[in-house]
Amino acid sequence: MRPRIIRSVVIGAVLGFSIAGVGLGAVLWMQQFGRHNDIQTLPYAHPLPQGPWPQGPAPQAPSPALFEERADEIVRAWPDPGPFDGGGAELLPLPGMDAVSPEDTALTVHVGHGACDTEFGAWLRETEELVIVGGWNVPDSTVACTEQWLSDPYRIGLESALGDRPVIDAVSGAPLSSSR
């Protein structure tokens, strides 16, 4: 019976000293490196931003002016408008749309946007011959974000049934492909 008691006491003492050693190591580390916001003394750390945090008006949807100019260009140059070079967040290409039928009075287009964008949507221009669409997003410049690109559906109502009008992506100038 004695060997069990001795072994238990030895194991308890070793564990106790181990835990105390870890605690002492943490205290010493905090004394050396944990002085308030002075963490930049570590060789791999970047300075922490200091307040006040950026504040201001909430980001708003971009102006449709660039889309309107491009839609005018597509209408004038149809059936061969060619691609548009530029646009950024104000005019994005659309990767596709859901399948449609001639009697549909709404479209569901897929809009690409960043994971931290505050808003996204699509512009629309209808003529008797064409339906022109282009995407937009509002990046949030106040946060660090991954460079991930997402595509989400966005529903747009039409003034009249689609009929035989092609749905044209404003950036590429080509008909959007549909899938379902």
Is 90 exceeded by the pLDDT of residue 123?
yes
Specify which of 35-44, 50-59, 83-92, 163-172 reaches the highest per-range mean pLDDT: 163-172
The confidence score (pLDDT) of residue 24 equals 55
Token pair listed for 82: 């060619």
The structure's pTM equals: 0.65
More confident residue, 71 or 141: 71
Q: Does 52 sit behind a cis peptide bond, omega within 30 degrees of 0 on the bond before it?
A: yes
Average pLDDT, the chain: 78
More confident residue, 164 or 40: 164
Identify the three-state secondary structure at position 122. strand
Is 70 exceeded by the pLDDT of residue 48?
no
Which among 55, 87, 98 is positioned nearest to 170, based on CA atoms? 87
Q: How large a percentage of the chain has pLDDT more than 90? A: 44
Q: How large a percentage of the chain has pLDDT more than 70? A: 64
* pLDDT tens per residue across span 8-36: 555 655 555 566 555 555 555 555 555 44
The confidence score (pLDDT) of residue 147 equals 81
